[in-house]
Chain A
Amino acid sequence: MSDRVELVVNRVERRVPKLVNGREQVPFQGVGVYQPTGQKHGPPIRSCSDFPANGDKRVPDLKTALRECGLRDGMTISTHHHLRNGDAVAMQALNAAAELGAKDLLWFPSASFPCHEPVIDLMERGVVHHIEGSMNGPLGEYCSRGKMRGMGVLRSHGGRWQAIQDGEVHIDIAVIAAPTADPFGNADGAHGPSACGSLGFALADSIYADQVIVVTDNLVPFPCIPWQIQGNNVDYVVEVDSIGDPAKIVSGTTQITKSPDRLLIAEYVARFLRDTGIMRNGFSFQAGAGGIALAFVDFLKQQMREAGVKARFVRGGSTQYLVDLLKEGLIDYILDGQTFDLAGVASIATDPRHVGTSPFTSYNYHGKGNFASLVDAVVLGATEVDVNFNANVNTHSDGVLLHGIGGWQNCLFAGCTILALPAFRDRIPVLVDSVTTLTGPGELIDVIVTERGIAVNPRRTDLLDRLKGSDLPIRPVAEIKHEVERLMGGPPAKPHLTDKPVAVIKWVDGTVLDTVWQLQG
C-alpha cells in the first residue's frame, strides 16, 4: 500500500479513502441514498459431467483440495466463524495454502477470533496479504499499528453478503467447516461432535465462490439431513480429525451479568419496552448473548408472564434464555443467525420452531427486504456513543481496532434500536462528544439506556409521547454525558492517530462510512 492515500469527506463529515486495495469506493451518501445498479455476481457455470456420478467428492486432505482448486498467488480464500474461538479449519486451510507456496492471499473470513492470531505470522511471511473481515484482539492491534500490507475492510454480516453478491469481493475458494456433511457436500451445523447450530454465514460463500471445499469431522453417508449448505454448490469434501474445539465453539451455558449496574440497565430496557407499549401481543425482538442482553431477556420474560403477552418471533443469537421462552410458549419462533450455547444447539437440532437463518434472509441490504427491519425492538451494545446518537463498535476510545461489526449495523433498521451500555467503564467514558469511529449513524439509533438514565433520540417524539407517565429516568443525552465527564475529571484526551488509513468501515450498502487510522508511535 502506498503511503499516499487520497481522501474525500463523506456525507457525515468523515474522511474516507477513495481507493481501497486498488478498488474505487463510493463514500457514504446517507441512509438509503445510494442506489445499486447492474446484475448480481455469479460463479462460473459447471457441468455434472465434471463431477463423480456417484456423488463422492472426497479428496484425501485440504492440501489436495486446494491444489485441485488451482490455488494461485493473490487469490481470495473465505472461511466462516460459526466455530468461533474453537475454529481449527481456517488455520488448517491457510497453513495448507502456505505449504503449497501460495503468496499474497486475501483472507476473507465472516469474522475472526483470538484463535486466528497465527494469521499474523502468515502475514509476516507474505502468505496472507491482508484481511477483509472483522479483526478482533491481536489482529486488530496488528492492523491498527499499520503492519498489514493491504487495507482492512470491515463489513457487517449483511454487508458481507452484499459485497459477495454485488461482486465487490470475488471469492476464489470458499472453505466451509461443517459439523456434519455427506460425501456429496451437503452440510449441516446442528449435529455432530463439533455442532455449532446454524451455518448461515457460509451460505453466500457456497453460492457465489468459484470453488467450494467442505471440511468435516463427521462424515455421514448421503443424505446429510437436514442440509443448510447444498452439495450441488460444492466441489470437494475433506474429512479431518477435528474441525475445532467444541468447548470453545459454544459455551456450556451463557452467563447472565452479576453486576448490579448492568442488571439495572437490563431492567430499564425491559421496562422501556413495557412502558412504550412495544411489548404487546405478537411483538418481536432481538438481543445478543452479552451479559446485559441475557439479563434483559430474563426481565422481559417476567414482564411477559405478568402481562400475559406473547411474542411472534425472536431473532437469535440463540441461548438458553431464548430457548426457555420458546419452551414456555412465550414466543412462537426463534429465527436464529448463530447459536451461542449447548441449549441453543440442542433446540435448533430438534425443535421445528427454532429455525436457522442466513445473512441473506436476515440482513442483506441489497435484497427485497430483510428480517432485521421487521423486528420491533433490538438491544445492542457499543464501545462509544455520542451526543448525536452516533455509535462506535469497532475501535476503543484510544483508537485501537478491536471489534468487528457483526450484525450490529444491520440491526439498526429495527423498529426501535436500543443501545444498552454502561455510561462509562472504569475511567473510560462511553458517552462522548464525538465517536472515535463511526459504525452506526445516529439517525438510526433511537434509545441509549445507561445505568444513569435513558436518553431517547429527539427524532423519536412518538416514543417520548408514549413514555409520559412512566417512572423511568428519561434524561437528555448531553446531561448524562456531562455527569459522566464530571465524574471522570473532564473529557478524555483525543487518541493519537496518524493520517494513514489502515482499515475502512463499510456501511450496509457497500459505501464507505468511516476510516480506522494508524496509531501514532
Chain B
Amino acid sequence: MSPSPKQADPSRGEAGPSGDDVRSDLHVAVELTGSGGLEFDITSKVASLYGESLRGLAHSVLAALGVSHARVTIDDKGALPFTIAARVEAAALRAGVRSKGDARPERSVTRDAPSARRRLRRSRLYLPGSQPKLFINAGIHQPDGVILDLEDSVHPNDKDSARLLVRNALRALDFSGTERMVRINQLPLGLEDLKAVVPEGPDLILIPKVERADQVREVDERIRGVRAKDGDGHSIWLMPIIESALGVENAFAIASAAETVVALTIGLEDYTADLGVVKTSEGNESLYARTRLVNAARAAGIQAIDSVYGDVADVEGLLEWARRSRALGFEGMGCIHPRQIQPIHDAFAPTAQEIEKALKIVAAFNEAEAKGLGVVSLGSKMIDRPVVLRAQHLVEVARRSGLLPNADGTGGADAT
C-alpha cells in the first residue's frame, strides 16, 4: 500500500480507562480510515489465553456496526467479553459511526421469572456503571438487589460508554439471582438510558430526583413503549428516589403515580443539601422526610427503602442506623460496599419475639383456611387480614435471613 496523503482530522474515538492500576477493563481507540480494512494493534495481559478471542470479539462488534476500515488499538487488562464489546462499541460511536446495527453480545443469562412486587429489598448494592470490574462478583455477596448506576457515580463524559456496559452486563451476568436494578439519569438523558437497558429486562428502574408524579408516569410510559416492541411481557418495577423538599411534599402522589411503582426511597445527600443542613450520622435533620416517606409509601401500599450509610469502615454506626431505620418502618437500605450487606441484613432481621408471634398468626391462618373459615382467630382474638399479611411477610423475611428453616426446603422464595 502506498502512503496516502494524511487525512485531515481522521475520526477517532476512545473509550475505557488506561493506566497500570486498571483491572478487568480495557482501553480502546478506534480510528476510522477510508480503506485498508480493519487493522488491530492489541496489547493484552491475557494475550496467550484469550488474545484470539479478544480480537475476534472486537472484529465482530465493528462488523455489526458496519465498520470495515479502521485502525483499532486495544490495551487490555483482562476485561471480560461483555466489557470488551461495550468499550469497542463506545469507541466506534465516539469516532462518529452512526450505525443502527446491533452490536450487542450474545445473551448468556435468562431469567425465568420477573422479580416479585413485594420481594425482600433489605439491601441494594450500588455499582458505578463505568466500573465493570465491580459488576462481576457483586452478586456473590448476596445483596437482595444490585443497582447498576448510570447517574451520579458516572462522569458526564462517560454516560454513553457506561450505558453500553450496563446493557451488556444485563445480557452477560446473572448477579447470582439478585434483583437487577438500574438507576437511570434524570430525564431527558434518562430516556436514552431506558432505550438501551429496558430491552434487556432489568427487574427494576430507579428514577433519581423525582419531585412530581408525572415524572414517574413519563418513565413508566416510556418503558411500556419499549417493552411493547422489544420485551418479554413482564413488568419492570419502578423505585422513585426522592431527593428534595418538594419531592418529600409530593411523596404520596409519587408513590401512587403508577401501578409499577413498588418502593419509594430517599437520597439524603441531595435532600440535606436542598434543606441547607448538614447530614449527620444520627439523621435528625432528615427524620421528618424519612417518616413522611414511610407514611406515603405505606399509604400507597408499597415499600419504603432508606438511603445509604456513607462510612464503610464504621460497622457499628451502620448497624445502629439500620436498626433505627427498621424501627421507623423502612424495609431496607442501600449499600455502597459489599461488606455492608450482612450488617444490614442482620439489622433488618425480625427479632425472636416477633418471629414467634408471627408464626402463631400464620399457623392460625392456615388452620382457618384448611377448615374453610372466613375468620382467623388466635386465642380469643380476631386477627385482621393485614395482620396476617404482615405476619406472613415477617416469617418470609425470617426465613430469608436464615432465622427459620425453610418450610418447603427450597429456600429463598420471595414473599408476594
Contacts and interface: CB of A to CB of B under 8 A. Distances in A.
A499 interface: no
Given A427-B50, A428-B78, A489-B80, A261 B108 contact: no
Contacts of A471: 402
Contacts of B45: 426-427
A495 interface: yes
Contacts of A451: 137, 140
A495 B48 contact: yes
Interface in B69-110: 77-81, 108
B416 interface: no
B410 to A, nearest CB: 14
A487 B402 contact: no
Interface residues of A, number: 24
A511 B284 CA distance: 71
Interface in A454-512: 471, 486-490, 492-493, 495-496
A263 interface: yes
Contacts of A489: 50, 53, 57, 80-81
A428 B46 contact: yes
A221 interface: no
A398 interface: yes
A492 B339 contact: no
Given A426-B23, A487-B136, A398 B339 contact: no
B119 interface: no
A261 B46 contact: no
Interface residues of B, number: 28
B126 to A, nearest CB: 13
Nearest to B78: A426
A451 B142 CA distance: 11
Contacts of A398: 48-49
B384 interface: no
B137 A493 contact: no
A261 B50 contact: no
B47 to A, nearest CB: 8
Interface string A305-331: 000000000000000000000000000
A38 interface: no
Interface in A413-461: 425-429, 451-452
A260 B50 contact: no
Given A260-B337, A427-B80, A490 B53 contact: yes
A138 B77 CA distance: 21
Interface in B311-339: 337-339
A405 to B, nearest CB: 23
Nearest to A469: B405
Contacts of A426: 23-24, 45-46, 77-79, 133
Interface string B140-157: 110000000000000000
Contacts of B408: none
Contact of A492 (B24, B49, B77, B173): B49
Contacts of B49: 397-398, 427-429, 492-493
Contacts of B301: none
A397 B78 CA distance: 13
A486 B110 CA distance: 14
B52 interface: yes
Contact of A486 (B108, B133, B136, B141): B108
27 contacts: A260-B137, A260-B338, A261-B140, A264-B140, A397-B48, A398-B48, A425-B78, A426-B24, A426-B133, A427-B45, A427-B46, A427-B79, A428-B46, A428-B49, A451-B140, A452-B137, A471-B402, A487-B173, A488-B50, A488-B81, A489-B50, A489-B80, A492-B49, A493-B48, A493-B53, A495-B48, A496-B48
Interface of B: 23-24, 45-46, 48-53, 57, 77-81, 108, 133, 136-137, 140-141, 172-173, 337-339, 402
Query: Ordered nearest first, which 8 A-B pairs have the shortest CB separation?
Result: A426-B78, A492-B49, A260-B338, A489-B81, A427-B78, A398-B48, A427-B46, A426-B24
Given A427-B46, A451-B140, 19 more contacts: A260-B137, A260-B141, A260-B337, A260-B338, A261-B338, A397-B49, A399-B48, A426-B23, A427-B79, A429-B49, A451-B137, A452-B137, A486-B108, A487-B136, A489-B80, A489-B81, A490-B53, A492-B49, A493-B49
